[in-house]
Amino acid sequence: MSKYFFLFCFLLTLGCSTKENSNDSGKNPVKLSYEIDTVQIDSGDEFLFLKYDLLDSDLSKDGKLFLNVDQLSNQIEIIDLENQRLIEKIPFEREGPNGVGPEHISNFQLLENGNLCFSNIHKLTILTPELKMASSQYFYPESFEGDSLPEKAEIPTFYGQLNSDGSKFVGFYDLFWENEILGIAIIDLKTDHLDLIPNDKLDYLKELIYTTVFENGSKITTGDAKYIDYFGNKLIISTSAKNELVIYDMEKDSLWTKSYQSKFTSDLKKGSYKTESNSDLALKIKDQEVYFNHLVYDTESELFWRYSRESKSNNPEFPDFIYVLTAFDKELNQIHEEKLDVDWTHKPSIKFIKDGMLYTYINLEDELGFLRLKPKLEND
């Protein structure tokens, strides 16, 4: 039997601008309790690809399988989350009619119809569950009809996301090498029609860029993480630097922001590292400042969850981090935030939610592990 058969069968079963402020609602005060544990994936005699912290991975629709792309050996690792073990590794092609290309894979997405999407900076390739070519699209300015990209602007595919059936791509258009976001890009992949929605609500990121200048005159800019996610007819945009969401309603062509105030952390990165000439020290200072991860939606509780952290130490060599978990309702109102009683050393990011538990990747002595936090909200 073909080793693709398991993957094939399993996956086939699967305008105007306003601003709002939101804090914990006083109408229905709640308290949060939580349980934490750690699980390790049994990989047998195999080594799992952990080099990029599961950057190119995704969860199956029913939450039973976790797929991780090993782009060095060109294999897809299929992990059974019910039994916490590696099932098998399936090779994919780089070259030829079913090849995803030789470039670095910067994003991976599993679609509801079982198709698999591989992205690099300028190319998006979709394979069928049998790993045969479904479509391949280069994201160059001349590739699209509709709106025209500004001079020097690009649409990096790794920032973006496909809708559930893979017919539409949403992401950012930017001046990539200047780390400057210009707005939202929406592409109909069936017609190659491009819509651009200018957005200056992320302009604060330009003030937080750190530039390293080398002796030969070359430069590297370091910016903050940007996130864009589908939620129904809306796009939710956020960054690691600010306690704020930008929401775009695609049906109403309406763009607005929701700002939040935390009781435990700063609401905006200070950028104090920008005055530091020593780049190593600057990055340590940057790492101490507030960091907001992206929101992840739990269909079971109908809540969004987000981790954030900030060091309360003034010494970058000896950080003292606090970790905060925040809950938001479906309307993106902040319901509750909780300072966690933990002594973590990693930067927590919710990889996915399964059975009401927030899964965060951790490296357990070069073995794949997940830290699982199960929150419970109750009326106070």
CA distances from 24 to 21, 50, 236, 245, 359 (A): 11, 37, 20, 15, 24
For residue 293, give the DSSP letter.
P
Q: Which residues pair with 367 in a beta bridge?
A: 364
DSSP alpha helices (H): ranges in 211-340? Answer: 279-288
Mean pLDDT in residue range 288-300: 96
For residue 48, give the DSSP letter.
P
Is this model's pTM higher than 0.75 or not? yes
Q: Which pairs from 185-191 meet CB under 8 Å and 24+ separation?
A: 185/155, 185/160, 186/250, 187/139, 187/144, 187/155, 189/135, 189/137, 189/162, 191/145
Q: Residue 44 is inside which H or E element, if any?
A: none
| Predicted pLDDT of residue 3 | 53
Map residue 378 onto helix, strand or coil.
strand
Instruction: For the chain, report the end-to-end CA distance as a whole number of angstroms.
Output: 56
Q: Sorting pLDDT into bands at 50, 70 and 90, what band is 18?
A: low
Least confident of 8-17, 29-38, 148-157, 265-274: 8-17
pLDDT at 157 over 60: yes
Give dist(CA 57, CA 78) in Å, integer.
10
pLDDT at 306 over 50: yes
Give dist(CA 112, CA 89) in Å, integer.
21
pLDDT at 83 over 80: yes
Map residue 231 onto helix, strand or coil.
strand
The residues, any chain, with a CB within 8 Å of residue 254's CB and separated by 6 or more, are 15, 16, 17, 18, 248
pLDDT at 4 over 70: no
Mean pLDDT in residue range 81-109: 96
| Predicted pLDDT of residue 15 | 42
pLDDT at 94 over 80: yes
Give dist(CA 217, CA 211) in Å, integer.
12
* Cα-based torsion angle of the residue sequence 117, 120, 123, 125 in order, rounded to the nearest 10 degrees: -20
CA angle at residue 17 from 254 to 268, to 5 degrees?
Answer: 115
Single-letter amino acid code for the residue at 117: C
Q: Which two tokens stand for residue 174?
A: 């930017």
- φ and ψ at residue 278, rounded to 5 degrees: -80, 110
Neighbours of 154 (CB within 10 A): 20
Q: Which two tokens stand for residue 50?
A: 């952990």
Q: Hey, where are the domains in the chain?
A: 4-14+16-379
pLDDT at 237 over 80: yes
The label of the residue with tokens 């905006």 reads 268
How many residues are there in the chain? 380
Is 4-14+16-379 assigned to CATH 2.40.240.20? no
Map residue 274 onto helix, strand or coil.
helix
